[in-house]
Amino acid sequence: MRIAVFSTKGFDKRYFEEFNPQYNHELVFFEAPLNLNTVNLSAGFEGICVFVNDVLDKEVVNELAKNGVKIIALRCAGFNNVDIQAATGKNITVVRVPSYSPQAVAEHALALIMTLNRKTHKAYNRVRDGNFALDGLLGFDMYGKKVGVIGTGHIGSIFCRIMAGLGCEVLAYDKFPNQDLGLTYVSLDELYTSSDIISLHCPLLPETNHLINEMSLAQMKDGVMIINTSRGALIDSKAVIKGLKSKKVGYLGIDVYEQESDLFFQDLSESIIEDDQIMRLLTFPNVIVTSHQGFFTKEALEEITKTTFENITAFEKGETLVNQVK
């Protein structure tokens, strides 16, 4: 199939070109993200391949339909950036990669926690500067800490196991608890009031938008650590900034950010960044921001590439689509 690949980075191209000979699609790579300004690039393609920050709202989907696009292949798990109803209405099939390396994201959540806790990023710079002092690097034992995990699906369940392996007491909350996991499920209220660390692993839905807000923050322990590797808008950034200023939030580690689509995956080091919220967040010594790199391991990229091609090939052959989003 002739496929337009949007938001292409060097690593996408490398993996897609490496695996394509097994599938034989005709790939055209665009560095530009897909949005209303760029949707015309989709003309003449039966398929398009997009990533987390491409915008596929109703207007864009309508234009895709006019251009003859028949399949939207998401090379990610989340599909909150696609108007599924609009796509269905236009008879465009949407497929995704539901699970590629849940370990990669769960392990990145651990990396954020351990960096915030043991301050290895500061130690690295200090020691290289000949400063071998320990002041300011004080951490805490993970052993025995209560870790609240919201969402115990692919990633959350692995994260729970990792935390249990460190000797933490895991408190889980899920709208649909999975009793097979042997976890201690508690109410959201209990999770908020009891946890030393809270890690978000649920999807972004209207009901989870700004799950972490002024009210939920008020319930939490003073000095709580909050980790978000799921979707930015699970956290109300304004409320969390207030929480950091009042010291209610003792540590914040985020791999995703509400307004990340204007920032992440780009080198803006020579630009004036207009987003005052992210700039404020970056001033706190107890905040770590990574730019949506949780998925970014070679195992995950291989799986993403293969599943994306398999999804498209199955569509082309009229086979059952196991990864269709409806």
For residue 255, state whether it binds ligand NAD (rule: CB under 6 A): yes
Nearer to ligand NAD, 38 or 294 (CB): 294
Site for ligand NAD, residues 187 to 226, rule: CB under 6 A = 201-205, 207-208
Closest CA to 279 of 237, 251, 239, 230: 237
Spatial contact of 26 and 1, defined as CB atoms under 8 Å apart: yes
Among 35, 59, 62, 78, which residue sits at the site for ligand NAD (rule: CB under 6 A)? 78
Would you give the binding string for ligand NAD spanning residues 99-138, x where CB under 6 A is met?
x--x--x---------------------------------
Spatial contact of 109 and 199, defined as CB atoms under 8 Å apart: yes
Total residues at interface with ligand NAD (CB under 6 A): 31
Nearer to ligand NAD, 173 or 315 (CB): 173
At its nearest, how many Å lie between ligand NAD and the CB of residue 197?
17
What are the residues facing 147 on neighbouring strands? Answer: 170, 197
Site for ligand NAD, residues 266 to 285, rule: CB under 6 A = none
Nearer to ligand NAD, 3 or 150 (CB): 150
Closest CA to 8 of 50, 56, 70: 50
Set 63, 260, 303, 310: catalytic member: 260
Output the DSSP codes for 122-153: HHHHHHHTT----TT------TT-EEEEE--S
Asked about 201 being catalytic, the answer comes back as no
Residue 114 backbone dihedrals phi, psi, to 5 degrees: -70, -30
Asked about 231 being catalytic, the answer comes back as yes
Measure Cα distances from 220 to 27, 198, 214, 223 in Å: 49, 9, 10, 8
What's the residue count for the chain? 326
For residue 174, state whether it binds ligand NAD (rule: CB under 6 A): yes
- Per-residue burial over 277-305, b = 16 or more CB atoms within 10 Å of its CB, e = otherwise: ebeebeebeebbbbebebbbbeebbebbb
For residue 9, state whether it binds ligand NAD (rule: CB under 6 A): no
Set 96, 201, 292, 303: catalytic member: 292
Spatial contact of 253 and 197, defined as CB atoms under 8 Å apart: no
Residue at shortest CB range from ligand NAD? 153
For residue 253, state whether it binds ligand NAD (rule: CB under 6 A): no
Asked about 161 being catalytic, the answer comes back as no
At its nearest, how many Å lie between ligand NAD and the CB of residue 165?
18
Output the DSSP codes for 31-54: -SPPSTTTGGGGTT-SEEEE-TT-
Would you give the binding string for ligand NAD spanning residues 15-54, x where CB under 6 A is met?
----------------------------------------
Sites of contact with ligand NAD (CB under 6 A): 77-78, 99, 102, 105, 150-156, 173-176, 201-205, 207-208, 229-231, 255-256, 292, 294-295
Catalytic residues: 231, 260, 292
